[in-house]
Amino acid sequence: MVIAIDGPAGAGKSTISRLVADRYGWAYLDTGAMYRTVALLAREQGIAPSDGPELGLLAANVEIGFKPGPGGAPRIFAGCREVTREIRSQEVSAEVSEVSAHRLVREAMVARQRAIAEAGDVVMDGRDIGTVVCPGAEVKIFLTASNRERARRRRLELEEKGIIVGQAEMEKKIVARDEYDSGREVAPLKAAADAVVIDTTSMTIPQVVDKVEEEINRMVDAR
Ligand code: DC
């Protein structure tokens, strides 16, 4: 079974996906981490975020691996090197949207994501899982939240790492990234026509997990 969880930055996708995967004993795939790994390596190798052909080559050749980490958060590897922390840097966050918009980059990542989906039960989070990667996913969820709330969550995440960003600045960054992700030509961020949309603005994490589980159980019962 494939559970597709799409939505904009800060909507709670990774937290919810991880908890749902844990509850059912399924795998969890953070597809954003894959695009972030490409963006990180591109930065280090001096490849511009606008250079589609070079980025495509990099994406086709990079070996991206996942291992379970503390508290269930997956550790991410590029070959043997762990990149879990570095892919979350503000520099990578600022460039990853442009990197991920190139057709060749997406083709390389989508092929891997589909292979993982075919290998077994998985909860996948991203922007285009229900629309492009796995349009046949049994359950499709689109998580959203207000700009203010999403920026607040991202700010708190960064604060835990000792990075202080103002609310207005974070809101601006998050809206800019959404606009880029929604406006791109290839596989833009959007809810699949058959996705269940959940606005998490004033919901607690357990409430959202319960709602997703309701959808999964409904699907299982209907089989
Ligand atoms: O979920 P995230 O913030 O880690 O994702 C980083 C970027 O990667 C996001 O701005 C757009 C891109 N992305 C994508 O285009 N398609 C996906 N399935 C996942 C992420």
How far from each other are the two terminal CA atoms of the chain, in whole angstroms? 12
Q: What is the dihedral of CA 144, 111, 46, 41, to 10 degrees?
A: 70
Q: Exposed, middle or buried: residue 128 (CB in 10 Å: 0-12, 13-18, 19+)? A: buried
Range 1-26+121-223: architecture per CATH: 3-Layer(aba) Sandwich (3.40)
Distance 181 CA to ligand 1 centre (A): 8
What is the average per-residue pLDDT within 34-41? 98
Distance 35 CA to ligand 1 centre (A): 6
Convert the pLDDT of each residue in 126-135 to its tens digit.
999 999 999 9
Question: Does the pLDDT value for residue 161 go beyond 80?
Answer: yes
Cβ(138)–Cβ(222) under 8 Å?
Answer: no
Mean pLDDT of the chain: 95
Find where tokens 């349009």 sit. 135
Domain boundaries of the chain, sorted by first residue? 1-26+121-223, 31-119
Number of the ligand 1 atom closest to the C-alpha atom of 33: 4
Is the domain covering 31-119 a CATH 1.10.287.3510 domain? no
CA-CA distances (angstroms) from residue 83 to 106, 159, 191, 218? 20, 20, 30, 37
% of the chain at pLDDT higher than 70: 100
Q: By three-state DSSP, how is residue 64 classified?
A: strand
Cβ(150)–Cβ(200) under 8 Å?
Answer: no
pLDDT of residue 222: 84
pLDDT of residue 89: 92
% of the chain at pLDDT higher than 90: 92
pLDDT of residue 141: 97
pLDDT of residue 70: 82
pLDDT of residue 18: 95
What is the average per-residue pLDDT within 189-202? 96
pLDDT of residue 197: 97
DSSP conformational letter for 170: H
User: Which residues lie with the beta carbon below 6 Å from any ligand 1 atom?
Assistant: 9, 31-32, 35-36, 96-97, 100, 126-129, 177, 181
What is the average per-residue pLDDT within 133-149? 97
Distance 222 CA to ligand 1 centre (A): 32
Q: By three-state DSSP, how is residue 77 classified?
A: strand
pLDDT of residue 88: 92
Q: Ligand 1 atom 4: the closest Cα is on which residue? A: 32
Q: Exposed, middle or buried: residue 1 (CB in 10 Å: 0-12, 13-18, 19+)? A: middle
What is the average per-residue pLDDT within 191-196? 96
Q: How many Å separate Cα 112 from the centre of its chain?
A: 14
Residues in the chain: 223
Convert the pLDDT of each residue in 167-180 to its tens digit.
999 999 999 999 99
Question: Does the pLDDT value for residue 101 go beyond 90?
Answer: yes
Asked if 1-26+121-223 and 31-119 have one fold, the answer is yes
Distance 82 CA to ligand 1 centre (A): 19
Pairing of strands 196-199, 122-126: unpaired
DSSP conformational letter for 25: T
Q: Ligand 1 atom 1: the closest Cα is on which residue? A: 32
What is the model's pTM? 0.95
Question: Does the pLDDT value for residue 143 go beyond 80?
Answer: yes
Q: Ligand 1 atom 8: the closest Cα is on which residue? A: 32
pLDDT of residue 171: 96
DSSP conformational letter for 201: T
Distance 30 CA to ligand 1 centre (A): 9
Distance 119 CA to ligand 1 centre (A): 22
Distance 18 CA to ligand 1 centre (A): 16
What is the average per-residue pLDDT within 104-131? 97
53 band by pLDDT with thresholds 50, 70 and 90: very high
Q: Determine the residue of 87, 96, 157 to mutate for testing ligand 1's pocket, defined as the one with the most ligand atoms within 8 A of the Cβ atom.
A: 96
Q: Ligand 1 atom 2: the closest Cα is on which residue? A: 32
H helices present in 46-137, as ranges = 52-61, 90-100, 103-119
Question: Does the pLDDT value for residue 113 go beyond 90?
Answer: yes
pLDDT of residue 220: 82
Q: Ligand 1 atom 3: the closest Cα is on which residue? A: 9
Question: Does the pLDDT value for residue 71 go beyond 80?
Answer: no
